Amino acid sequence: MQDINESRSGRAADTVVRQLSQKIQSGEYSDGTPLPPERLLMEEFGISRTVVREAVQSLSKQGLLEARPRHRPIVRKPGYDAAISAMESVVSHLLNNSGGVKNLFDTRILVESALVRQAAQQAQRDDIAALKSALEANKAAVDDSERFYLTDRAFHALLYEIPQNPVLPALHRAYVTWLAPQWSRMPRLPERNRANYEAHVAIFDGILMRDPDAAETALRCHLDQAWEQVCETFGDGL
């Protein structure tokens, strides 16, 4: 049977979570500002330090607070980034399951396939110029693997920005965060960088020529090859 004090503590924390959430959503607690100190929250709500910390932990999981060791939590205004961040603990658990990383990577392929098709049909002059600039930066970084990784991410990030849908850039940032533990351990070799750059060129050419099929084919080929590189490094049980 659950301890009575523990049950009461949980109910008290739920109440505090609702009230703090309302203050964040209303703007009373501004985005980017520290949450009031524990002592003040204890006095305001008539609760213990334990209840305050339970509430903070819950709000952090919802993406409404950014917990920082030895610092007061930072308020984060509700938005798509916060909504997706709230999934992080669940996704991290699922990634540890057999096939978890592959399942997530497959969703990325589906999303980016649709994005390059849309880009080939609807990209504006400024979008094309941004992609071309990102591609040039990617080429210049071929022999610098750390910089190449950053320019690789930047090129793909632009695909998520072209539709001007705020959900999509947040989704890209989530993919980068969720897959980073695997990607950061990948061997970084100039010849591999060069192959990835050439794949980006093929994607760009498909978009530039207004050919959705060519753009999607190039994107799928690129990400299929990327997955093969992952399997060569970690095996195929991801």
Task: Find all residues with CB under 8 Å of 23, minimum gap 6, and list them.
Answer: 29
Specify the CATH number of the domain 4-77: 1.10.10.10
Read out DSSP for 27-48?
A: TSS-TTSBPPPHHHHHHHHT--
Mean pLDDT for all residues in the chain:
87
| Half-sphere exposure at residue 233, Cβ-oriented, CA atoms within 13 angstroms | 17
Tell me what pLDDT residue 6 has: 43
Domain positions in the chain: 4-77, 85-234
Read out DSSP for 98-114?
A: TTHHHHHHHHHHHHHHH
pLDDT in tens, 188-206: 788 999 999 999 999 999 9
Tell me what pLDDT residue 83 has: 65
CA angle 29, 33, 36 (to 5 degrees): 65
CB 211 within 8 A of CB 117: no
Q: Which of 5-19, 59-73, 116-130 has the highest mean pLDDT?
A: 116-130
Tell me what pLDDT residue 2 has: 35
Q: Which of 8-17, 49-58, 132-141 has the highest mean pLDDT?
A: 132-141
pLDDT in tens, 163-183: 999 899 989 988 888 877 777
Looking at the whole model, is its pTM more than 0.85? no
CB 22 within 8 A of CB 75: no
Fold agreement between 4-77 and 85-234:
no
Tell me what pLDDT residue 4 has: 34
pLDDT in tens, 74-130: 998 777 776 676 666 667 767 777 788 888 899 999 999 999 999 999 999 999 999
Q: In the chain, helix, strand, coil percent, each to 5? A: 75, 5, 25
CATH 1.20.120.530 fits 85-234, yes or no: yes
Q: Which of 1-10, 94-103, 146-155, 222-231 has the highest mean pLDDT?
A: 146-155
